């Protein structure tokens, strides 16, 4: 979408002339006949720049400039002055005007001045967004877990972080791929440089190309200003390509070149730019299978898979669930400004036996929901049990995966058989309470899912 400019002048002929010139150059234009109307339109239309006459009744250009700066200090304001009013123009510049233009002026002069103003605004806005994005990626990441899988992962991250090689992180959705990527960056020699992220699955192919490599002004419809891409902005730092498997074949070829030669061109430019960026890519798909199926370039896969990291699912490290739960409950408590709540033993039994199809993200959501909805300090098992997958859900609804209680029932019955029906030994081997085991068996008997003699 083209940038919007607000034109303010009490003379309709001048407003129309300026508006027409700017519209012919591809800008959207809104116009106001006085300062009060202009202030209302700034709030409603959020223009990228304002051009206003200096001499107007009721509220002149200098007063409008001052009030606009209070509303948005970064909004560029260009003032139009009559020939010979240099003193007024100088005063306007001291008050914060971006530039001034003397009447009468040529159309080209007007367009060039406003283009500079719009580019300044877009640059300031982009830098502000970049700083916010960077702060989120510079927060100290936390890896929670004492399981063997997590200890091995932590050791692997320490070794990989010191390298400059490309990293490919594979894991199911919700396993913490972004946290691991932050951890790699935080322990790398680039830790003091920027880390940026691009969600490859969230953008169309054309938008993703511009996001990665930037574009020149006029490269395509709506490209009113030059835009730097993430590779350029991350120079010297780290770029996270989230869900790399979703990029188009055309972009796969361009990305391969960047990884091989460390150079690229902005969209609409023939000038090559060199960058020093460490790439970390994540995926929840089997890229080797995608290569075999012809959906992903083999040469790009090999370029990405230099330093692979495979994340365990939460069901592969259930012993970490209590630690993770305490961590998430503490985060909610800190945000809400209160003491952390805790799960009772029955709730912990349920959590540590759940197969977690949504992995760590699902656990985090359950912890937050339970913390908010529980009135007391202790979260009971009966509170969270309805939120877990039940055996009444058809297997087809889970994409062919067996529902939670089907898996649990099979595991429990197998353990009971091993210990000749001894419930205490069975419960101890499964890491659950005898009462929890008894309640489950009672429920399954009532549903005729197990023999009454169990």
- Asked if 278 contacts 190 with a C-beta cutoff of 8 angstroms, the reply is yes
- Domain 151-312 grouped into CATH 3.40.50.300: yes
CA distance 419 to 454: 12
Rounded Cα gap, residues 416 and 421, in angstroms:
5
pTM comes to: 0.61
Residue listed under structure tokens 């510079």:
138
CA distance 440 to 412: 9
| Phi, psi of 195, deg, nearest 5 | -125, 125
Which CATH code for domain 4-126? 3.40.50.2300
Give the pLDDT of residue 450. Answer: 65
Matching CATH topology for 4-126 and 151-312?
yes
CATH number of the domain located at residue range(s) 395-446 in this protein: 1.10.10.60
Fold adopted by 315-387? Helicase, Ruva Protein; domain 3 (1.10.8)
Phi, psi of 367 (to 5 degrees): -60, -45
Length of the chain equals 454
CA distance 428 to 349: 12
What's the pLDDT score for residue 452? 65
Residue with tokens 């001045």: 113
Could you tell me whether strands 4-8 and 49-53 are parallel, antiparallel, or unpaired per DSSP bridges?
parallel
Other C-beta atoms lying within 10 Å of the C-beta of residue 148:
12
Domain parsing of the chain, residue ranges: 4-126, 151-312, 315-387, 395-446
List b or e across 73-103, with b for residues whose CB sees 16 or more CB atoms inside 10 angstroms.
eebbbbbbbeeebeebbebbeeeebbbbbee
Residue 248 near residue 289, CB atoms below 8 Å: no
pLDDT at residue number 126 = 66
Tokens read off for 344: 């009772």
Query: Is residue 311 a contact partner of residue 344, using CB atoms and an 8 Å limit?
Result: no
Cis peptide before 102 (omega within 30 of 0): no
Contact 88, 18 (CB under 8 A): no
Number of H helices, E strands in the chain: 19, 16
- pLDDT at residue 397 in the model: 41
Question: From first to last of its 454 residues, what are the pLDDT tens digits of the chain?
Answer: 468 999 999 999 999 999 999 999 889 999 999 999 999 998 888 899 999 998 898 899 899 999 998 888 889 999 998 766 677 778 888 889 999 998 888 999 999 999 999 988 877 776 665 555 555 445 556 789 989 999 999 999 999 999 999 999 999 988 999 999 999 999 999 988 889 999 898 888 888 999 999 988 878 777 777 788 899 989 899 999 999 998 998 899 999 999 999 999 999 888 888 889 999 999 998 999 999 999 899 999 999 999 999 999 999 999 999 999 999 999 999 998 999 999 999 999 999 989 898 899 999 999 999 999 998 999 999 889 888 864 334 444 444 445 566 677 777 877 776 677 888 878 877 778 778 888 888 887 776 666 666 7
List the one residue out of 359, 181, 168 whose CA is nearest residue 245: 168
């Amino acid at each position: 979408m083209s940038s919007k400019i607000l034109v303010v002048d009490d003379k309709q002929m001048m407003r129309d002339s300026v508006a027409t010139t700017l519209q012919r150059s591809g800008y959207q234009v809104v116009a106001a006949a006085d300062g009060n109307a202009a202030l209302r339109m700034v709030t409603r239309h959020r223009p990228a720049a304002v051009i206003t006459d200096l001499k107007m009744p009721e509220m002149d250009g200098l007063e409008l400039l001052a009030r606009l700066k209070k509303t948005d200090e970064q909004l560029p304001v260009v003032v139009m002055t009559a020939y010979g009013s240099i003193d007024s123009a100088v005063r306007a510049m001291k008050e914060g005007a971006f530039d001034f233009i003397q009447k009468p002026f040529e159309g080209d002069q007007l367009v060039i001045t406003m283009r500079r103003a719009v580019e300044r605004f877009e640059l300031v806005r982009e830098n502000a967004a970049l700083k916010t994005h960077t702060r989120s990626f510079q927060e100290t990441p936390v890896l929670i877990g004492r399981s063997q899988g997590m200890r091995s992962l932590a050791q692997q991250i320490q070794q990989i972080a010191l390298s400059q090689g490309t990293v490919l992180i594979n894991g199911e959705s919700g396993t913490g791929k972004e946290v691991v990527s932050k951890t790699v960056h935080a322990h790398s020699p680039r830790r003091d440089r920027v880390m940026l992220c691009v969600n490859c699955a969230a953008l169309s192919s054309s938008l993703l190309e511009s996001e990665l490599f930037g574009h020149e002004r006029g490269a395509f419809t709506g490209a009113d200003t030059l835009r730097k891409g993430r590779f350029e902005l991350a120079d010297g730092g780290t770029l996270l390509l989230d869900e790399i498997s979703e990029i188009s074949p055309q972009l796969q070829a361009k990305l391969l070149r960047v990884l091989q030669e460390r150079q690229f061109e902005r969209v609409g430019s023939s000038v090559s730019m060199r960058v020093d960026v460490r790439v970390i890519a994540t995926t929840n798909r089997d890229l080797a299978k995608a290569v075999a199926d012809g959906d992903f370039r083999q040469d790009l896969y090999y370029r990405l898979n230099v330093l692979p990291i495979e994340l365990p699912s939460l069901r592969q490290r259930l012993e970490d669930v209590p630690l993770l739960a305490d961590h998430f409950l503490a985060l909610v408590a800190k945000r809400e400004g209160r003491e952390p709540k805790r799960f009772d033993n029955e709730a912990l039994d349920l959590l540590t036996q759940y197969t977690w199809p949504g992995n760590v993200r699902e656990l985090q959501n359950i912890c937050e929901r339970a913390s908010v909805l529980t009135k007391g300090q202790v979260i009971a098992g009966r509170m969270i049990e309805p939120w877990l997958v039940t055996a009444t859900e058809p297997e087809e609804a889970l994409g062919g995966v067996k529902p939670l209680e089907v898996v649990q029932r099979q595991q429990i019955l197998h353990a009971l058989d091993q210990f000749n029906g001894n419930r205490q030994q069975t419960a101890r081997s499964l890491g659950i309470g005898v009462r929890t085991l008894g309640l489950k068996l009672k429920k399954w008997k009532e549903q005729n899912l197990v023999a009454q003699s169990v």
